[in-house]
Structure 1
Amino acid sequence: MPSPLPPLRLLSVFEAVSRTGSVQRAAMELNVTQPAVSQALRQLEDHVGTKLLDRKTRPAARTEAGRILEVAVTEGLGRIADAIDHVRHLQMTGDSATVACSVGVATYWLMPRLARFSAEHPQVTVNVMTTLQGAPRLNPAVDLAIRYGNGRWADGTVEKLFDERVVPVCSQPFRDRLKSAGIKLDRTTLLHVNTDDPAWITWPTYLKNMGLPENRTAGRRFTNYVQATQAALDGQGVMLGWESITGDLVREGRLVELNDLPLVPADAFYLVTTPMIEERPSARLLASWLLDLP
């Protein structure tokens, strides 16, 4: 059995302290006393069995355990808030659709296309729920999910959106510096994205497929593709560019491909639609529109 979750009140206090950066500001925001906030933090630490804040620093910094919990709490409370907003909106209009996907796909692939959808269908409100990686299972609050994988999911109707293509990308000035200095890919700064999903291609996988040394763990590491992409745009190194994330940036000239050695994985991106799609005209319209994209 999974460990019981701590009371939501304790998680809310921890999120407020993490976001505001101090017990004092969190107490003001929550309209409670500072001792009450400190007590809630201690209760949460007792529940998880470890320190979440390093109180030797001023202001108190999060421990490694605190940073891990912060990511989960921020994402979890954010998704709850999004779901509540969605439910309230349904009660007001009933004319909306909610799509879930990773933050990278949402930022660089979905949002630019949704601008066109909204211009063509201004009567439909589209809500976007994001996760650091992957996409959640469909539920009453999620009509559509954009997922990367083999397409074998049972929570909805699965249709392919597009195939993937992975190739090293960087900024034009960074590539120019590499070429002028004669630096090869296996000797430059690599931008890594930490992921627990075995389906996602990482640098060791790419380098192995290209016949290059695989033991390149040095470089910069990020928790999601939005951070890594921004680092690449800023000329901080070379990232593995996925068509779903950096494809438009390459076509716009904001990033360039470092070589012409793409890796095309067997997995692809799919649109998963709710079994209740026929009862949701706005979701059905959005799904058809996405599937018809060139």
Structure 2
Amino acid sequence: MNHFPPLRLLVTFEALSRHGSMRDAAARLNVTQPAVSQAIKALEDYIGVRLIDRSVRPSRMTEEGELLARAVREGLGRISATLEDIRAMQTDADRQITVACTLGVATYWLMPRLSGFYDRHPEITVNVQAPASDLPVLSPGVDIALRYGTGGWREGINGKLFDEIVCPVGSPDLVARLMEDGVDLDTAPLIHVRNPHNQHWAGWEDYLAVKGITRPRSSGQSFNNYVQAMQAVIDGRGLMLGWRSITERAVLEGTLTEWPNGTHDLGTAYYVSTGVDPSKDALLFTQWLREEAT
């Protein structure tokens, strides 16, 4: 930065390169033509190269001048855009909320409904985060967390949003074929969601144990998130242990079918958590969430 020329010289040079003449640049900057000429000369002396070829009429940029003009134009453009972003952030800071939830809930429960909130409150921007740990928390910058479990979190204000139910699901064709062939869950093709960060979620092993069904743990195809697994299920590659929050819409639309008499209540639910002093916009969003949940 010790060799960086004064910013006013670069601004004058950028104006000259953009408008093409000393007169137009002076008018744009609201200064005199001699002031522009002096600034360009000072910049040339500072850098040690000629930026303007004055041996021709009209004068024109040298090769070095063209290189600098592009760099200055890009740099000043970035500064201008950043300033606009900062102003926008300052203006809209109190009209934004950030929601943390799992990737599955974000994709299949929250996002398909979010347009309804925007219809009611177009002035509020909702930022959605899906942490890799699959354990949303009320960290700094997060206004609302949608969390799965049995409750009992100590931080923030927590309230139940809806009970969570599990049930095996598959494509309608696959479920119909398995039922027709007399195939039960002890031999049906299974799709697992396995991830070191989501050990708090029940899996096929837990569900089958409750149902008194024994089969090898390693049987079936595995994915590390519900979005990938859901697509494989829709493609008819196997049955997935469906969580109602993730699969309900697909079942209602007929994309997936629940396994007959397969539902089970694990005693868990989804909760909405806010800080102890939530903003007005966070309260509006929480109220909307409760309406959607019912």
TM tier relative to shorter chain: 0.5 to 0.7
Q: CA separation of 1:155/1:162 partners in 2, compared to 1, >3 Å: closer, same or farther? A: same
The equivalent residue for 2:172 is: 172
The equivalent residue for 1:247 is: 248
Residue correspondence of structure 1 range 250-261 to structure 2 within 5 A: 250-261=251-262
Residue correspondence of structure 1 range 180-219 to structure 2 within 5 A: 180-196=180-196, 197-219=198-220
Residue correspondence of structure 1 range 37-186 to structure 2 within 5 A: 90-94=89-93, 95-186=95-186
Q: Secondary structure at the match of 2:264?
A: coil
**Higher-Rg member (1/2):** 2
**How far does the alpha carbon of each residue in 1:39-61 deviate from its partner, in whole angstroms, 9 at most, with x for none?**
xxxxxxxxxxxxxxxxxxxxxxx
Q: Distance in 2 between matches of 1:147 and 1:287?
A: 13
Q: CA RMSD in A?
A: 1.9
Of all paired residues, the percent bearing the same amino acid is: 43
Q: Which moved more, 1:127-136 or 1:230-239?
A: 127-136
Contact 2:102 2:136 (C-alpha < 8 Å) held by counterparts = no
Q: CA separation of 1:232/1:103 partners in 2, compared to 1, >3 Å: closer, same or farther? A: same
TM-score w.r.t. length of structure 1: 0.66
**How far does the alpha carbon of each residue in 1:162-205 deviate from its partner, in whole angstroms, 9 at most, with x for none?**
00110100000111221233222211210001134443111111
Q: Secondary structure at the match of 1:221?
A: strand
**How far does the alpha carbon of each residue in 1:219-268 deviate from its partner, in whole angstroms, 9 at most, with x for none?**
11010111111111111100001011001111111100122121101121
Contact 2:167 2:263 (C-alpha < 8 Å) held by counterparts = yes
Q: Secondary structure at the match of 1:236?
A: coil
**How far does the alpha carbon of each residue in 1:116-175 deviate from its partner, in whole angstroms, 9 at most, with x for none?**
111121111100001245333213310000000121112210000000110100000111
The equivalent residue for 1:283 is: 282
Q: Distance in 2 between matches of 1:132 and 1:105?
A: 13
Q: Which amino acid aligns with 1:260?
A: N
Contact 1:149 1:268 (C-alpha < 8 Å) held by counterparts = yes
Residue correspondence of structure 1 range 3-42 to structure 2 within 5 A: none
**How far does the alpha carbon of each residue in 1:34-83 deviate from its partner, in whole angstroms, 9 at most, with x for none?**
xxxxxxxxxxxxxxxxxxxxxxxxxxxxxxxxxxxxxxxxxxxxxxxxxx
Q: CA separation of 1:292/1:204 partners in 2, compared to 1, >3 Å: closer, same or farther? A: same
Contact 2:146 2:272 (C-alpha < 8 Å) held by counterparts = yes
The count of corresponding residues between Structure 1 and Structure 2 is: 207
TM-score w.r.t. length of structure 2: 0.66
Q: Distance in 2 between matches of 1:136 and 1:181?
A: 42
Q: Distance in 2 between matches of 1:217 and 1:88?
A: 54
Q: Distance in 1 between matches of 2:92 and 2:218?
A: 51
Shift in Å at residue 206 of structure 1? 0.5
Q: Which moved more, 1:129-138 or 1:163-172?
A: 129-138
Q: CA separation of 1:176/1:88 partners in 2, compared to 1, >3 Å: closer, same or farther? A: farther
Q: Distance in 2 between matches of 1:126 and 1:89?
A: 15
Q: Which amino acid aligns with 1:222?
A: F
Contact 1:191 1:239 (C-alpha < 8 Å) held by counterparts = yes
The equivalent residue for 1:62 is: none
Q: Which amino acid aligns with 2:165?
A: R
Q: CA separation of 1:272/1:89 partners in 2, compared to 1, >3 Å: closer, same or farther? A: farther
Q: Secondary structure at the match of 1:148?
A: strand
Q: Secondary structure at the match of 1:92?
A: helix
Structure 2 residue runs of 5 or longer lacking an equivalent are 1-84
Q: Distance in 2 between matches of 1:263 and 1:214?
A: 19
Structure 1 residue runs of 5 or longer lacking an equivalent are 1-85
Shift in Å at residue 286 of structure 1? 0.3
Q: Distance in 2 between matches of 1:274 and 1:176?
A: 47
Shift in Å at residue 92 of structure 1? 3.3
Q: Distance in 1 between matches of 2:119 and 2:92?
A: 19
Contact 2:170 2:233 (C-alpha < 8 Å) held by counterparts = yes
